[in-house]
Structure 1
Amino acid sequence: MSQTAVAGLGAPVVQAIDTPWARGTVAAGFEPVAAAFATAPRGGTALGAACTIIHRGETLVDLQGGFRDKRRTQEWRGDDIALVYSLTKGLTGLAAAVAVARGLFAYDEAVADIWPEFAAHGKGAVTVGEALSEQAGLAAIDFRLTLANLNDEDAIAAAIARQKPKWSCGDLAGNHAYTLGWIASELIRRRDPQERNLGRFFAEEIAEPLGADVFIGLPDHFNRARIARITGFGLPDLFLKHTTMPWALTLKMCLPGTLAFRTLNNPLLLRGPGQLDCETFWRVGQGGAGGMASARGLAAVYGAFAEGGERLGLTPAVMATLAKGHRPPRAGLKDRVLGADLYYSYGFEKPFAEWEFARTRSAFGSFAVGGSLAFADPEDRVAYAWITNQLGTGKWDDPREKIVRDTFYACLENRP
């Protein structure tokens, strides 16, 4: 571990980290974060991982550790990307926020005013904000999804539009594991003058202006050698390696007919999320679970929001809306699919009493199956991203990630 100065007037001193389990840099005073980060690769609970944390525009933590291949022959490098599963929902929320700021639609506008077919089965009053906050009852759809048809947005949008909701909008919320992305994409492409879908809109309005390696739909030109491959889990692992996932959800995921089964096993019937780590899925640009990103890229896009959104043309009104959060469901925060409390808001999760993932309630972001987490906290001006290619079997607050986040905030509290 050597101390080096970053070029530039007033630049902070950083520690260069170069060990088998943690590589990269941390700002002076944040050395304990590197030790915390290294525990997962060193202990074998993560094949590889990466973490980038920005505070007030300054990168305080930029670490990678372990390996990006299952044979453990290729070290995870700083610009490597991985499939980030439900972290994609947060990216979809960011794209929707930019669309609102551009005047394409409003959060309180009825979805059916933009997408008339959506009004079927009494959905005519559902607002954009309610749909993006996973309150519309469309977690599962009566449409057999396969890897071959996931890119047929017209057919899938038609299926969502004609779907009968599983609960009354606004009463409950539930994890729209895949459908959230298609709903957002349909809203954008119906109002965007260029008729761009979610993936193209995100690329051109967010990722490319920020120079961030974050994709909802991996382009052909991207170097596949930079992809950290996923080590997933199978059905037996949910029982044999059970950690923090609610037992009720574990059982429901395996019982045909339950909402959890119908939501989480379409398209991959009981095959586990690791099966999505393939070229076909990378290309699709599925806005609920198909994002590909580096930790650096995720921190960069959330960093633009943490700094107020001006770089992306976000208005103060939109930023205030995201910070405040959508009105919670009338029946409380218990997720109708996952069976645990979660606060969904405009494509993100928000902190609440049972899960204070940031220091302030202004934060918004998303967690993913396997343990990854990314968020922005505009009040604290923090952007955080921790990703892994070895999927854990818990819910949020994966211990491999949480120790890094807790250590970071402890160091931040002690910073002059």
Structure 2
Amino acid sequence: MQQDSRLHKQVGSQSSAPEALTGGYVAEGFEPVAHAFQAAILSGEALGAACTIIHRGETVVDLHGGWKDTAREHKWVGDDIALVYSLSKGLTGMAAAVAVSRGLFSYDEPVADIWPEFAAHGKDAVTVGEALSEQAGVAAIDYKLTLENIGDEAAICDAIARQKPNWAPGDYAGNHAYTLGWIASEMIHRRDPQGRRLPQFFAEEVAGPLGQDVFFGLPESFDRDRIARIKGFGMPDLFINHTTMPWALTFKMCLPGTLAFRTLNNPLILQGPEALDSEGFWRVGQGAAGGMASARGLATLYNAFAEGGEKLGITPEVMADLIKGHHYPRKGLKDKVLTADMYYSHCFEKPFSAWEFARTRSAFGSFAVGGSLAFCDPEDGVAYAWITNQLGTAKWDDAREKLVRDAFYACLENRS
């Protein structure tokens, strides 16, 4: 891996804001990725961002740029972290894969065998795989969440167990925006011999062994100056600056009583995701939206799976399940919450005909509100992470991120 010192000079000479900076490393042959990354920063469309890409064990891209605060006083540096919203779901999927590999439970096992109370209102047949693939129908819960009670996992999991499904489990999938993390955490807690919940289990069994700054529940000792703060969007932006988010979702998110409103606005009633970027939420360790991570950390964790999972004790059988993907819902891929097709699988998203985010269908990862994306492709040997602190309004394929990803794959084609 080599440092592209020219990168810094180009920024200073081309930017209309001379104090702006992009920096980092690219391997020989991947210079176009640096130029694409620069374009996202210099356009002003990304306040700050970072991207790390590993190919067959070699870090070929490690870039950072822009600002980690809206006052534009502090530059984003390579090991800074940010709240990564639904990229958290993929991290939870990693923890679940470790749990399955350890024999704590199986993807085919009914959740109610692990958590008997979950069987209420006809959820008795829901399997672990279905629940982790967002087919259980508990995307919206009647329990009123607040930033004050969102750390009370025991009470929230009791509410999830009592919840009447939003649809017949297995018929559809729908974005379990928050509940996915608690479902996984409760299953781990009930079967782990030490009784650990997700934050501790993840720290000790996933991030810790790989030595990475990726957290569920930010430690008090972590330097807060290394956190890139979020510049979000308000509900009016969804209409005024509408990009590729489905119009049906845009309207339903604002209409009380709809499934989208009940799912996405509990706890944040029309406040927008920026409201989660707070000390209180950082500390909670919410497993579907509360992860804190650097791009380097995300790529390193995904690389463990790109290489087959042995570093984390992932069994070949579990890797095969992740690569193959969970079966589709009985009535198709249309997300009951987001109103667009999505392919959820074991806490990850998988490529499918409408969104081929990688070169092969072996890939799995997660995207997040605002445009961040992280995934691995075991067949291609790729681990990829792109995160930003300026939230866009795209459904997926955020234009800033996709520019970088397309440049990477073009370089990879030329390298082959």
What's the TM-score, normalizing by structure 1?
0.96
Classify the secondary structure of the residue corresponding to 1:103: coil
- 1:122 aligns with 122
Q: How do 1:59-138 residues align onto structure 2 when only pairs under 5 Å count?
A: 59-138=59-138
* Whole-Å separation in 1 of the counterparts to 2:168 and 2:378: 32
- 1:31 aligns with 31
- 2:366 aligns with 366
* Whole-Å separation in 2 of the counterparts to 1:131 and 1:322: 15
Deviation at 1:22?
1.9
- 1:168 aligns with 168
- 1:215 aligns with 215
* Whole-Å separation in 1 of the counterparts to 2:415 and 2:4: 15
2:2·2:25 contact (CA, 8 Å) conserved in 1?
no
- 1:49 aligns with 49
Deviation at 1:13?
4.5
* Structure 1 stretches lacking a partner, 5+ long: 1-11
Q: How do 1:254-403 residues align onto structure 2 when only pairs under 5 Å count?
A: 254-403=254-403
2:3·2:24 contact (CA, 8 Å) conserved in 1?
no
The residue type equivalent to 1:254 in the other structure is C
* Whole-Å separation in 2 of the counterparts to 1:13 and 1:281: 37
Deviation at 1:14?
4.7
1:371·1:398 contact (CA, 8 Å) conserved in 2?
yes
Deviation at 1:415?
0.6
1:54·1:383 contact (CA, 8 Å) conserved in 2?
yes
* Whole-Å separation in 2 of the counterparts to 1:121 and 1:393: 35
* Whole-Å separation in 1 of the counterparts to 2:234 and 2:220: 30
Give per-residue Cα distances to partners, 1:379-399, cap 9 Å, x unaligned.
Answer: 111000000000001111000
1:133·1:345 contact (CA, 8 Å) conserved in 2?
yes
1:351·1:357 contact (CA, 8 Å) conserved in 2?
yes
Classify the secondary structure of the residue corresponding to 1:15: coil
* Whole-Å separation in 1 of the counterparts to 2:52 and 2:277: 22
* Whole-Å separation in 1 of the counterparts to 2:82 and 2:4: 26
* Whole-Å separation in 1 of the counterparts to 2:323 and 2:236: 39
* Whole-Å separation in 1 of the counterparts to 2:2 and 2:201: 37
Deviation at 1:15?
2.6
- 1:201 aligns with 201
- Divergent runs of 4+, >3 A: none
* Whole-Å separation in 2 of the counterparts to 1:178 and 1:405: 28
Deviation at 1:403?
0.5
Classify the secondary structure of the residue corresponding to 1:414: helix
- 2:14 aligns with none
The residue type equivalent to 1:15 in the other structure is D
The residue type equivalent to 1:114 in the other structure is I
* Structure 2 stretches lacking a partner, 5+ long: 12-19
Give per-residue Cα distances to partners, 1:42-66, cap 9 Å, x unaligned.
Answer: 0110100000000001000000010
* Whole-Å separation in 2 of the counterparts to 1:169 and 1:327: 13
- 1:231 aligns with 231
Classify the secondary structure of the residue corresponding to 2:4: strand
* Whole-Å separation in 2 of the counterparts to 1:313 and 1:348: 19
* Whole-Å separation in 2 of the counterparts to 1:357 and 1:165: 31
Give per-residue Cα distances to partners, 1:227-268, cap 9 Å, x unaligned.
Answer: 000000111111111111000000000000000000000001
* Whole-Å separation in 2 of the counterparts to 1:244 and 1:40: 18
- 1:8 aligns with none
Q: CA RMSD in A?
A: 0.8
- 1:415 aligns with 415
Mark the CA change 1:13 to 1:394 in structure 2 (over 3 Å): closer, same or farther. closer
Give per-residue Cα distances to partners, 1:24-73, cap 9 Å, x unaligned.
Answer: 00000000000001112101101000000000010000000100011111
* Whole-Å separation in 1 of the counterparts to 2:337 and 2:2: 46
2:21·2:75 contact (CA, 8 Å) conserved in 1?
no
Classify the secondary structure of the residue corresponding to 2:97: helix
Matched residues, number: 405
Judge which range, 38-47 or 260-269, deviates more.
38-47
* Whole-Å separation in 1 of the counterparts to 2:289 and 2:29: 35
* Whole-Å separation in 1 of the counterparts to 2:82 and 2:384: 16
Deviation at 1:188?
0.2
Deviation at 1:21?
3.8
1:14·1:28 contact (CA, 8 Å) conserved in 2?
no
